[in-house]
Amino acid sequence: METQTLLLLFATATSAYLIWFWYLTRTLTGPKVWPILGNLPGLFANRSSIHDWIASNLRKTGTALTYQTTTLAFPFLARKIGLVTVTCNPKNIEHVLRTRFDNYPKGPSWQAAFHDLLGHGIFNSDGETWVTQRKTAALEFTTRTLRQAMGRWVHRSIKLRLWRILAKAADSNADVDLQDLLLRLTFDNICGLTFGKDPETLSPELPENPFASAFDSATESTLQRLLYPRLFWRPKQTLNLGSEGTLKKSLETVNSYMMDTITARRLSPSDDLLSRFLKKRDANGDFYTSSFLRQIALNFLLAGRDTSSVAMSWFFYLVMKNPRVESKILAEISTVLRETRGNDPAKWVEEPLDFDELERLVYLKAALAETLRLYPSVPEDFKYAISDDTLPDGTFVPAGSSVTYSIYSVGRMESIWGDDCLEFRPERWISGDRFDNDKDSYKFVAFNAGPRICLGKDLAYLQMKSVTSAVLLRYRLEPVPGHLVEQKMSLTLFMKNGLRVYVHPRNLASGLE
């Protein structure tokens, strides 16, 4: 009798669940949703190419406007937790990032994951905390002195380090991992710009730096938290196990280094961002605490390193595959240098290009923007819905659910960029002889958009134009035969195996074209 009762209860519960599941998923579009498992089978099967999988599903909607999916990992999850709306519709993206900005903050899951590393810094905060930091940072990022400081750090890194490392590789016919070199270069530069301290990771010996290694480890461990519900990683945090134990140990090194740096800057201010924030006061009129200054500095460090280096890595990858584009970039550089430095090519490579010369490289900027269109440094971004909402295309977003806007997918939709959307064509960014800023809208959000648009956008272009022109001016790059370039599945679009290349000096005597 007891067995029959249990079977009846099981059958009743199963039927109730299936009815609930049908009701929940009957209007959803996208890949197949399984009972209990939701979209997990599809996500797992495509885990090595998740961004292309998302783009493929969006493309199947016919209009490339909206895509919804559910992840029902457990039968007791509520609708608002189990539903994730994924879109690449520029109107939806504008709605989330600008029109209903206040309804779509970072959200509790994101903030909980990044709290130990970034605290309440600008990239991990919402509301008044974010507004105060944003206003302060905006004032600093518009100053010419900050731009000049960035120029000095980049110029030094290129001339004294990057050029020497590439020259050694060329002389010995050895290959280099260009992604690793660019990561080191941008790390040194952003550390110098943020707190005036050079970790020298791009030294010729390519040394390991305790702070850099700990920061990398802390970032990787933090990203692991976003892959799983807090229910999974909280116990590991409490017991100090696995990635959570690694994170705790790494943060001890990072925090110790940062507190020493802050103490040094209090005694001897400079023109770096940290020194500037030392002079600022919070809403209560008090100077920022050392703990909060640490959070501010680490936020800028995280944003300023990986994004630019990853973008430049994909740029060089695309340029090597498209010699036509490389020739046009070189022609533009040589035209500018003939006018500014004369006809002797030897004088062109004595120093990296200066501000005025870089400003005239319109086609190079277009090629960088085109790279970010196809390979955005942050391929997917996430928001949390505070209250019920309806997107411009009619998609209902329930309160407490998540919205993902796929930046990677936007750049690969024919309905948005035309039939040649998959082609690397910098010309699409040029109108007459100018960079077409009209294209730089909600169909191009590689630098975010709306109130949270990247404050360092101009500095990023400055650094990328300086480094890429300096490399192409002196060297022709050749991919190492058999080296596999593929995406690493993380929040930032790293190359999983790096970018291994051979470096060949250019014959400047015959011109760059």
Beta bridge partners of 382: 404
Across 22-36, average pLDDT: 56
Residue of higher predicted confidence among 445 and 141:
445
List the chain domain ranges: 104-376+411-510
Distance, CA of 444 to CA of 408 (rounded, Å): 10
Across 36-43, average pLDDT: 60
- Contact 354/341 with Cβ under 8 angstroms? no
Non-local (6+) Cβ contacts of 492 within 8 A are 306, 307, 310, 377, 378
- Per DSSP, helices labelled H in 119-229 are 127-141, 144-157, 163-172, 178-195, 210-227
Q: Model confidence at 430, in pLDDT bands (50, 70, 90)? A: very high
Of 141, 388, 175, 75, nearest to 277 (Cα)?
141
Across 392-414, average pLDDT: 90
Asked if residue 255 has pLDDT above 50, the reply is: yes
In CATH, which of 1.10.1740.110, 3.40.50.300, 3.30.1330.200, 1.10.630.10 is domain 104-376+411-510? 1.10.630.10
Highest mean pLDDT among 47-56, 386-395, 438-447: 386-395
For residue 137, what pLDDT is reported? 85
Element (DSSP H or E) covering residue 259: helix 242-267
Across 220-234, average pLDDT: 80
Distance, CA of 500 to CA of 400 (rounded, Å): 44
The pair of structure tokens assigned to 410 is: 């936007």
- Contact 311/464 with Cβ under 8 angstroms? yes
Q: Model confidence at 56, in pLDDT bands (50, 70, 90)? A: confident
Sheet with strand 176-177: strands edge to edge: 176-177, 500-505, 475-479
Residue of higher predicted confidence among 268 and 29:
268
Cα dist from 302 to 103, 280, 298, whole Å: 25, 22, 6
Distance, CA of 475 to CA of 457 (rounded, Å): 27
Of 468, 444, 133, nearest to 296 (Cα)?
133
Asked if residue 32 has pLDDT above 70, the reply is: no
Asked if residue 71 has pLDDT above 70, the reply is: no
Amino acid, single-letter form, for residue 281: R
Across 370-399, average pLDDT: 93
The residue to which tokens 């035209």 are assigned: 335
Q: Model confidence at 72, in pLDDT bands (50, 70, 90)? A: very low
Element (DSSP H or E) covering residue 397: strand 396-397
For residue 69, what pLDDT is reported? 41
Distance, CA of 481 to CA of 123 (rounded, Å): 40
Least trusted range by pLDDT, from 125-139, 445-459, 480-494: 125-139
Residue of higher predicted confidence among 270 and 9:
270
Across 37-53, average pLDDT: 69
Asked if residue 479 has pLDDT above 80, the reply is: yes
- Contact 214/187 with Cβ under 8 angstroms? no
Tens of pLDDT, residue by residue over 270-316, are: 888 999 899 888 778 888 899 999 998 999 998 888 899 999 999 99
End-to-end CA distance of the chain: 89
Amino acid, single-letter form, for residue 214: A
Least trusted range by pLDDT, from 168-182, 396-410, 492-506: 396-410
Element (DSSP H or E) covering residue 479: strand 475-479
Non-local (6+) Cβ contacts of 62 within 8 A are none
Element (DSSP H or E) covering residue 456: none
DSSP-derived secondary structure letter, 379: -
For residue 146, what pLDDT is reported? 84
The alpha carbon torsion through 492, 498, 503, 506 (nearest 10 deg) reads -20
